[in-house]
Amino acid sequence: MFLDTKPYADKPTKDATWNRGAYLVQGLGHCGSCHTPRGVGFQEKALDEGGAAFLSGAPIDNWFASNLTGEHNTGLGRWSDAELAQFLKTGANRHATAFGSMVSVINHSTQELSDDDLTAISRYLKSLPAAGGTGAPPYRYDPKATQVALGRPANDPGAKVYNAYCLHCHGVDGRGYAPLLAPLAGNPNVLEADAASLINVTLNGSESLVIGGVPSAYPMPAFSNQLNDRQIADVLTFMRAGWSNGAPAVQAADVAKLRKATAATR
C-alpha cells in the first residue's frame, strides 16, 4: 500500500552531488527507516524531501532517532557539511557523538563510504529545510550551570550527581572534550524534547565505536546499577536546563518506564 516501487529519478534542477546524496539517503542508506516518523500503518510519513515529516526525528526501539533536517537546535542546522561527513566517517564531531543503533551504522557501514559519497550525503541532508519551521531561537552557550556545579557543596541535586559521575568526561562547563567525549552544552540530543535517548544511554551505556579497526577508548558507560530513577532524572534535568539548553525536565517515572522496557538488553 505504501511502497514506492519507482526507481530514483535525478532532479534536473540539482547537481550530480546532490542527486547522488538523495539516492543514497532515500535508498541504500534508508535513513528514513529510523529518522522519519511513522503513520497508523507503520509507514514512513514521507519518503523524500517533498514531505514535511521527512527525517524530522522519530521514536524507535526505546531511543529517539534525531532530526536530520536544518533545524538549528535539535537538527543539523549548526553543522557544516564537513562536520556531518566527519560524523558519518568517525561517529563524532564537535557537536555530538554517536550512540545506540547509530554506532552499528557507523561501525559497519558509513565509515566505509568514499569521501565523494560522504560529501554527497552531507550536501543532500544539509539542503533539507528545518522541519516545523525555525522553532526556538538559535542555541547560545550560557555558563550558569557551570557556576551551579562549582558550588561547594552543589545545592542542586542534579549537579551533585553530575559532579560525581559526569564531570570528568563531559567537563564542568558541559563542553566535553570533542570529538573524543561528547559535549552536553548545545548537543542536539540534549536539546531534543523527547528524552528517550538520553535516558537510555545513561541507563545502558553505548556500544563502542570501532573506526578503522580501533575501538574507542571512551564509550559511554552504563549507570543502571549505580544510579536510581530519581538520580538519573535529576542529572538529566540539570543537563537539559543548564548551559542554556532549555529542554524539558525528565521525570523519575519516565526513567523507571524505560529501565523496565530495556531490562532484557542488560
C-alpha cell at 70: 536544518
CA dist 41 and 63 (Å) reads 20
Check residue 62 and report its DSSP letter. T
The pLDDT-based confidence of 146 (bands split at 50, 70, 90) is confident
Confidence band of 207 (pLDDT split at 50, 70, 90) = very high
What pairs with residue 208 in β-bridges? Answer: none
Buried b (16+ CB within 10 A) or exposed e, 63-85: bbbbbbbbbbbbbbbbbebebbb
Q: Is the pLDDT of residue 129 over 90?
A: yes
- More confident position, 7 or 215: 215
pLDDT at 6: 82
Residue 178 has pLDDT above 90, yes or no: yes
Q: If you average pLDDT over residues 103-117, what whole number do you get?
A: 98
pLDDT of 2 reads 67
Q: Is the pLDDT of residue 138 over 80?
A: yes
CATH number of 16-126: 1.10.760
User: 137 versus 110: which is more confidently predicted?
Assistant: 110
Give residue limits of the domains in the chain: 16-126, 144-265
The predicted pLDDT at position 152 comes to: 65
Domains 16-126 and 144-265 fall in the same CATH topology: yes
pLDDT digits (tens, 9 = 90+) for 39-72: 988 899 999 999 999 999 999 999 999 999 999 9
d(CA 120, CA 123): 5
Comparing 133 with 156, which gets the higher pLDDT? 156
- Cα–Cα distance for residue pair 206/182, rounded to 1 Å: 13
Distances in Å between the Cα of 49 and the Cα atoms of 4, 66, 78, 164, 182 are: 14, 16, 19, 44, 29
Overall average pLDDT of the 136-161 stretch: 84
pLDDT (average), residues 141-156: 80
pLDDT over 90 (residue 135): no
> Please, what is the average pLDDT of the chain?
94
Tell me the three state secondary structure of residue 58. Answer: strand
**What pLDDT was estimated at residue 204?**
98
85-108 pLDDT, tens digit per residue, is: 999 999 999 999 999 999 999 999
- For domain 144-265, the question of CATH label 1.10.10.10 is answered with no
